[in-house]
Structure 1
Amino acid sequence: MTTGTSPPTAPRRSRARTLVPLAVAAWAVLEIWLLTVVANAAGGFTVLLLLVAGIVFGAAVMKRAGRRAFRNLTETLQRMPGQPGTAAAPQAASPGTEGNGFLMLGGLLLMIPGVISDVAGLLLLVPPVRSMLGRYTERSLERRMRAAGPGSLSDAFQQARIHRPDGKIVQGEVIREDGAQPRSRADEGPRPPLTP
């Protein structure tokens, strides 16, 4: 006897979960094919030298970008209000200190063995390409944040706060409706008050 209802179907896979593994597999096959073409044209030793040079150069780029990012973080923390020796007006970032994320990505792509990844890594080392990608990424992120509705990640920090009945936000304070005090265990001493 059939009831007329269809059996539950499995949730449909997202397009990204289907296409990303296929794209990675196609990229790996293309990289291997290109390495064999270069090896046939220039020799296996040349390919080995290219791979080693890519790893060494990529590591140097990543190290330099990491140092720049750490230096920028240190300077930013030293300029925070309330720090000794803080200047009255905040200073703008010095030119050439932005785009460390794309520099690190370029170094990583250089370290990955392959011709296509090396070309992409070298392109990310060009300052106009990095600035263009940075602007595109910033606009895309702003557009997605504006499109995000209530209940999304942009609303998460507001929801994580504790609200009192009068609407005031109190961080770290527990308010009981019945007015009962929390019981302390015998092994605990008095607790210090919470300070902001």
Structure 2
Amino acid sequence: MRCTGMAVAFLLYVIAEVAAVWAVGSAVGVLATIGLLIAGALVGSWLARREGGKAMRAFVTTAQSGRSPEKELTDGMLVAVGGVLIMIPGFVSDVLGLLFLLPPTRAVARRLWLKRAEKRAIRHANQRRSPAMVVDSEVVPEQPHQQTQQHPVIEGRIVEG
């Protein structure tokens, strides 16, 4: 079922891309459409290189400071996806790629991506583990008559469910 959904999404993307190229070609002509596609690829590749360099420098700086580079790593990944989309001929892919390359829209995409990844990680962890186990316990200090024991006694109950 999931494979069918991906096939439908890809088909819709191809139809949207052809319709966009057709509409632009009808409005400005064939040569101008080709020129716009080439200009989009050139400007997009320049922007991807610039933003990718910024993301890499931010990643290195954050990692060297000892903080978690989660944001910077995600930004780098989104810039890479944006660069690939820009290089695919077509106006729809150029617009999507541009959204991943520009910092304000990339920040929105990053928040959505991280939220989705967190939900998937939790769902995956819940599917892989056994039923939850809660341990309610307390440490009971050693009694004078228990001199042979070296560790405190732990009493408690285990609740599974």
TM range (shorter): 0.5 to 0.7
Q: Is the 8 A contact 1:107 1:121 kept in 2?
A: yes
Please say which of residues 19-28 and 35-44 is displaced more in the overlay.
19-28
After superposition, give the CA deviation of every residue in 1:88-128 in whole Å (9 maximum; x if it has no partner): x74787x9997222222222222211121122222223323
- 8 A contact 1:57–1:107 mirrored in 2: no
- Residues 1:32 and 2:18 aligned together: yes
Q: Is the 8 A contact 2:51 2:101 kept in 1?
A: no
Structure 2: unaligned runs, 5 residues or longer: 130-161
What is residue 103 of structure 2 aligned with on the other side?
127
For the pair 1:146 / 2:122, whether they are aligned, the reply is: yes
Q: Structure 1 19/90 Cα, relative in aligned 2: closer, same or farther at 3 Å? A: closer
Higher share of residues assigned strand: 2
Contact kept in structure 2, 1:38 and 1:47, CA below 8 Å: yes
Distance 2:114 2:73 in 1: 17
- Residue identity over aligned pairs, in percent, reads 28
| Residue type of the alignment partner of 2:93 | S
Partner of 2:159: none
Cα 1:22–1:67 shift into 2, 3 Å: same
Q: Hey, which bits of structure 1, 4+ residues long, moved more than 6 A?
A: 95-98
Residue 110 of structure 1 pairs with residue 109 of structure 2: no
CA-atom RMSD in angstroms: 3.1
Q: Among 37, 46, 56, which residue is 2:32 paired with?
A: 46
In 1: Cα distance, 2:30 partner to 2:108 partner: 37
For the 8 Å contact 1:61–1:103, the answer to whether it is kept is: no
Say whether the 8 Å CA contact 2:48–2:80 is kept in structure 1.
yes
What letter is aligned with 2:19? W
Moved more, 64-73 or 127-136: 64-73
Q: Secondary structure at the match of 1:145?
A: helix
Aligned residue pairs total 128
1:82-97 matched pairs, under 5 angstroms: 90=66
TM-score (norm 1): 0.53
